[in-house]
Structure 1
């Protein structure tokens, strides 16, 4: 049975060095990265994120997102909640609807951590 990761209480973007730039990775950094990667490790969530990133303001309402992935609004809300809990999205209520927005810093932090080119640059400097 897979081990479940704890809920993330601090949704701020992760700030750790690229993997491989050091032989060790602090447990807190490893946990923060794992929680975010786990949130992204779902095809529906990746589709939702791709759609949000393609919007001019990187924001959309749940009612607009449900047709994109051909799922009900409650199911889409569940997926969005996972992305929000991990710090990848934020939400804001606009009247009766909820709008979700990408946290670009969170996406950049994940990319920077996994980017081997960044690792090579840090070794040169």
Structure 2
């Protein structure tokens, strides 16, 4: 036996070992991958997950920053910052009424959020 028989490295796909090369058409597009990564980054924070849960379970389906800050024992600017990130990721929408901003989960994202948060 020669030394090549003891190699611990598998043969590269598509190099004659009988396996086809990976199908690049099956990969996510760069744009889709970036969009999903942005959403995952927005979700990767305990405070933002709690905010989404509160919005999901709000009786009217929406809440203002002041209503969200108190139960979280977090300052209003901090809650606003987290909501801005969630809005930028397309998870929540902001509706300005007078001096207050009301937030709700975007209708097209409710199923996603519900599935993630159980």
TM-score greater than 0.5 by the shorter chain: yes
Provide the TM-score with structure 1 as the length reference. 0.66
Aligned residues: 92
Q: Is 2:65 the partner of 1:95?
A: no
Choose between structure 1 and 2 for higher RCO, CA contacts under 8 A separated by at least 6 residues: 1
- Unaligned stretches of 5+ in structure 2? 1-24
Offset, 1:88 = 0.3
Q: Give the number of the structure whose alpha-carbon radius of gyration is greater.
A: 2
Q: Which ranges of 4 or more aligned residues in structure 1 deviate by more than 6 Å?
A: none
Within-5 A mapping of 1:1-125: 23-108=26-111
Computed over aligned residues only, the root mean square deviation of the Cα atoms, in angstroms, reads 2.2
Post-superposition Cα deviations, 1:70-120, rounded to whole Å, max 9, x if no partner, equal 1000010000000001100010111111101101312435788x9xxxxxx
Contact 1:33 1:110 in 2 (8 A): no
CA pair 28-105 structure 1, distance change in 2 beyond 3 A: same
TM-score (norm 2): 0.70
